[in-house]
Amino acid sequence: MRASPRGMTRPTSGFLLRPIARVAGGFSASSASIMSQTTTTYAKRTLSTTQPKCLSLDNINQNIRGAKYAVRGELAVKAEEYRRRLADGDKSLPFDSVIFANIGNPQQLDQKPITFFRQVLSLVENPLLLENQDALKNSFGYKQDVIDRAQTLLANVQSVGAYSHSQGAPGIRESVAKFIEERDGFSANSQDLFLTAGASSGVSTLLNVICNDADAGVLVPIPQYPLYTATLALLNAKCVPYLLEEEKAWGTNVAAITQSVKEAKAAGTNLRAVVVINPGNPTGASLTADDIKKVIDVAAEEQLVIMADEVYQTNVFEGEFVSFKKRLRQLQQEYPGTYDAVELVSFHSTSKGMVGECGHRGGYFELVGFDPQVQEQIYKLVSIGLCPPVVAQCLLETMVNPPRPGEPSYELYEQEYNGIRDGLHKRALALYDAFQRMEGVECQKPQGAMYLFPTIHLPAKAIEAAEAEGRAADEFYCLKMLDATGVCAVPGSGFGQKEGTFHFRTTFLAPGTDWVERIVKFHTEFLNQYR
Amino acid sequence: MRASPRGMTRPTSGFLLRPIARVAGGFSASSASIMSQTTTTYAKRTLSTTQPKCLSLDNINQNIRGAKYAVRGELAVKAEEYRRRLADGDKSLPFDSVIFANIGNPQQLDQKPITFFRQVLSLVENPLLLENQDALKNSFGYKQDVIDRAQTLLANVQSVGAYSHSQGAPGIRESVAKFIEERDGFSANSQDLFLTAGASSGVSTLLNVICNDADAGVLVPIPQYPLYTATLALLNAKCVPYLLEEEKAWGTNVAAITQSVKEAKAAGTNLRAVVVINPGNPTGASLTADDIKKVIDVAAEEQLVIMADEVYQTNVFEGEFVSFKKRLRQLQQEYPGTYDAVELVSFHSTSKGMVGECGHRGGYFELVGFDPQVQEQIYKLVSIGLCPPVVAQCLLETMVNPPRPGEPSYELYEQEYNGIRDGLHKRALALYDAFQRMEGVECQKPQGAMYLFPTIHLPAKAIEAAEAEGRAADEFYCLKMLDATGVCAVPGSGFGQKEGTFHFRTTFLAPGTDWVERIVKFHTEFLNQYR
Q: What average pLDDT does the structure give for chain B?
A: 88
Mean pLDDT of B113-132: 98
Taking Cα atoms as reference points, which of A124, A106, A82, A487 lies closest to residue B158?
Answer: A106
Contact B391 A390 (CB under 8 A): no
Beta partners for B196? Answer: B363
Q: Please answer whether residues B356 and A161 qualify as being in contact, where contact means their C-beta atoms are separated by less than 8 angstroms.
A: yes
Average of pLDDT values for A502-523?
91
For A407-494, list the strands marked E by DSSP. Answer: 441-442, 451-452, 455-456, 487-488, 490-491
Percentage of chain B beyond pLDDT 70 is 90
Q: For position B72, what pLDDT does the model report? A: 55
User: Picking from A268-272, B64-68, B241-245, B363-367, which range would have the lowest pLDDT averaged per residue?
Assistant: B64-68
CB contact under 8 A, B379 and A38: no
Q: Is pLDDT at A378 greater than 50 in this prediction?
A: yes
Question: Is residue A296 predicted with pLDDT exceeding 70?
Answer: yes
pLDDT for A67 equals: 87
Residue B516 has pLDDT above 60, yes or no: yes
pLDDT, one tens digit per residue, over A476-503 is: 999 999 999 999 999 998 888 999 999 9
Nearest C-alpha in B relative to A72: B380
What pLDDT score does A448 carry? 85
Taken in order of first residue, the domains within chain A and their CATH numbers are: 23-104+417-530 (3.90.1150.10), 166-400 (3.40.640.10)
Q: What is the pLDDT of residue A70?
A: 66
State the average pLDDT over residues B86-95: 94
| Partner residue opposite B161 with nearest CB, options A230, A305, A360 | A360
Choose, out of A293, A361, A398, the residue to mutate when testing the contact with B (most B CBs < 10 Å): A361
Name the least confident of A98-107, A112-121, A325-334: A98-107
Has residue A22 got a pLDDT over 50?
Answer: no
Nearest to B72 by CA among B38, B25, B106: B38
Residues from chain A that touch B115, judged by Cβ atoms under 8 A, are 128
Residue B27 has what pLDDT?
32
Q: Averaged over B104-113, what is the pLDDT?
A: 90
**Residue B398 in this model has a pLDDT that exceeds 70:** yes
pLDDT number for residue A247: 87
Taking a contact as any Cβ pair under 8 Å apart, which residues of chain B between 75 and 134 contact chain A?
A: 103, 105-108, 113, 115, 118-119, 121-123, 125-129, 132
Tell me the per-residue pLDDT of A64-96, one tens digit each, with 9 for 90 and over: 998 887 655 678 878 888 988 998 999 999 999
Planar angle of CA B504, B509, B514, nearest 5 degrees: 85
Residue A411: the pLDDT is 97
- Cis ω before A223 (30° cut-off from 0): yes
B205 touches chain A (CB under 8 A): no
Inter-chain CB proximity B64 and A231 less than 8 Å: no
CB-nearest partner of B211 from A61, A212, A385: A61
Whole-angstrom Cα distance, residue B521 to residue B512? 16
Q: Do B60 and A374 touch (CB under 8 A)?
A: yes
The 10s digit of each residue's pLDDT in B479-495 is 999 999 999 999 998 88
Q: Does A244 touch chain B (CB under 8 A)?
A: no
Say whether B463 sits in a helix, a strand or coil: helix
Phi, psi of A273 (to 5 degrees): -155, 160
> Helix, strand, or coil here: B367?
strand
* Minimum-distance CB partner of A377 among B57, B157, B304: B57
pLDDT of residue A25: 34
Q: Kindly report, residue by residue over A390-402, the tens digit of the pLDDT.
A: 999 999 999 999 9
Mean pLDDT across B112-124: 98
pLDDT at position A264 over 60: yes
| Predicted structure pTM score | 0.90
Percent of chain A residues topping a pLDDT of 90: 73
**Contact check, Cβ <8 Å, B122/A126:** yes
| Average model confidence (pLDDT) across chain A | 88
β-bridge partners, A487? A99
Does ipTM top 0.85? yes
Would an 8 Å CB–CB cutoff place A144 in contact with chain B? no
Task: Give residue A72's pLDDT.
Answer: 54
B40: chain A residues, CB-CB within 8 Å: 167, 191, 375, 379
Share of chain B above pLDDT 90, in %: 73
Torsion angle in degrees (nearest 10) through CA of B416, B419, B424, B428: 180
Average pLDDT over residues A193-216: 95
Give the pLDDT confidence score for residue A14 in this predicted structure.
Answer: 29
| CA atoms of A265 and B222, how far apart (whole Å) | 46
Helix, coil or strand: residue A440:
coil
> For residue A2, what are the contacts with CB-CB under 8 A and spacing of at least 6?
A51, A52, B300, B301, B303, B341
In percent, the amount of chain A with pLDDT more than 70 equals 90
Average pLDDT over residues A4-24: 32
Q: Which long-range contacts (CB under 8 A, 24 or more apart) does B128-137 make?
A: B128/A115, B128/A118, B128/A119, B128/A140, B129/A122, B129/A140, B132/A139, B132/A140, B135/A135, B135/A139, B135/A140
Q: Pairing mode, if any, of strands A305-309 and A270-277?
A: parallel
**C-alpha dihedral, B516 to B517 to B520 to B526, nearest 10°:** -100
CA dihedral sign, ordered B70, B73, B75, B79? positive
Q: Which residues contact A100 (CB under 8 A, 6 or more apart)?
A: A36, A79, A108, A109, A488, A510
Model confidence pLDDT, tens digit, residues B289-346: 999 999 999 999 999 999 999 999 999 988 889 999 999 999 999 999 899 999 999 9
Q: What is the mean pLDDT of residues A55-64?
A: 93
Measure CA A101 to chain center.
14
Span B501-514, average pLDDT: 90
- What digits encode the pLDDT tens for the residues A442-464? 998 888 888 999 999 999 999 99
- Whether the predicted pLDDT of B447 surpasses 90: no
- In Å, how far are A274, A279, B347, B367, B401 from B324, measured between CA atoms? 46, 49, 11, 12, 21
* pLDDT score of A45: 42
**In chain B, what residues touch A227 (CB-CB under 8 Å)?**
384
CB-CB neighbors (< 8 A) of B9 in chain A: 212-213, 215-216, 270
* Confidence band for A281, pLDDT divided at 50, 70 and 90: confident
Distance from CA of B192 to the nearest CA of A (A): 9
User: How much is the pLDDT for A1?
Assistant: 36
pLDDT band at A317 (very low <50, low <70, confident <90, very high): confident
The Cα of B87 is separated from the nearest Cα of chain A by a number of Å equal to 14
Which pLDDT score is estimated for B330?
Answer: 97
Which of A125, A204, A374 has the CB atom closest to B122's CB atom? A125
Cβ-contact B179, B348 below 8 angstroms: no
Chain A residues in contact with B338 by the CB 8 A cut-off are 1
pLDDT band at A52 (very low <50, low <70, confident <90, very high): confident
Residue A147 has what pLDDT? 98
**Is A311 near chain B, with CB under 8 Å?**
no
Q: What is the mean pLDDT of residues A253-281?
A: 94
Q: Best of A374, A396, A450 to disrupt the B interface by mutation (most B CBs within 10 Å)?
A: A374
pLDDT at B402: 98
